[in-house]
Amino acid sequence: MKRWIVLILVFSVFLTGTVPVWADQVETIATIGETDQKLTAKSAVVMEAESKSLIYEKSKDKELPPASVTKVMSLLLIFEELEKGHLKLNDPVTVSQHAASMGGSQVFLEPSEVQDVETLIKCVVISSANDAVVALAEHAAGSEEAFVKRMNEKAKQLGMNHTTFKNACGLDEEGHVTTAYDIALMSRELIIKYPQVLKYTKIWMDTFTHKTKKGTKEFGLSNTNKMIRQYHGCTGLKTGSTGKAKFCLSATALRNGVHMIAVVMASDTAKDRIKDASALLDYGFANCQVVEDITTRKQIGKIEVAKGKEDQVQYPQQIKTKIIKIKQKDGNLRKEIRKKILTAPVKKGEEVGKILYKRDGKIIKKVPFYAEESVEKMDYPSSLWKLITQYF
């Protein structure tokens, strides 16, 4: 039988010049090429964080249960509350009976136990603790239900069109679904707006102390994201796994000024999700390059000022901008220069224009530039002098 298969393969190569691919082959990212990395994940994306550009996608809008990757949204809302001053890292949080009753991944918080916000954030980020995230949700919004409502509102704001959250922790629940692309969107929002979260996501091991009626007891935290130790430049972000969701991961990594996000959903095993995410990140970095673009005054031209003592305003001779180029989309990168219509007075340091970088018609970066000097409003003597000089 084996001899016949070999003969068929040889004959096929002789006729077509190619090796046949069986129909049930696991999907491969073809351009990864030599590494021959295969994705077991049902859904996956790679996104360059700064520009929000997708570099690779596989069933990006397939709605699937996300398991504890849900906590990316929960953390996003908690960091928003910290930014607004509604929460402080040292605020005490009393654990409710409901929060303590959470199953799955947990740090075994007890009813009425008190921990501060920062400790609970560590428990969520490092050990993916369901009890800790529900305690934070209740503290921030009054109840988990109210917090979940906020999660769904935020999802709509971010354009997560295929997401519905039913709880704050990610335990399997009917209708609790999202997509690889939507996870990338909320992951990007978290790391771009609140990069301080990476201080916690990069912690490999830590401890905290339970303080209950039974006394005090130290509890160890170990990072569920093994890529922190296994992938060069890994900065986070969140793992998730349940029987229904299988193995999910939102992985972030930073190399040479490029922050990449790889999301895999429903990988077969914990090892597979790391292989999948690593292959995707490698592919993303291989296709991205940081370059410096220089915009000169010659390109921009004069910026005129109406009713001013001067007819135009001065601005920098050169504007240098770091741009992340994506190889397969280089031809779609465009630059637009927009100058403001100015009327005196113009103050030194005032924005007088901006440079827009667009990819596929979408703005990926805005670079404002500013007046280097003030232009005062024209008065009677200066207007008279201007008329005289223009006449002669």
Residue given tokens 């349940």 in the structure block: 242
Report how far residue 29's alpha carbon sits from residue 137's, in angstroms, rounded to the nearest whole number: 39
The 8-class DSSP code of residue 291 comes to E
- Look-up: residue for tokens 């409901």? 98
Rounded CA-CA distance 186/190 in Å is 6
Partners of 242 in beta bridges: 246
Beta strands 305-306 and 342-343: pairing type? parallel
**Which of 379-383's residues contact partners 24+ apart within 8 Å by CB, and which partners?**
379/309, 382/309
Amino acid found at 64: L
Computed from CA positions of residues 272, 275, 279, 285, in that sequence, does the dihedral angle turn out positive or negative? Answer: positive
Cα(111)–Cα(242) distance, integer angstroms? 25
Residue 207, beta-bridge partner list: 220
Q: Which residues contact 92 (CB under 8 A, 6 or more apart)?
A: 114, 115, 116
Kindly report the length of the chain. Answer: 392
Residue 232: DSSP 8-state:
T
- Active site (catalytic) residues: 68, 71, 128
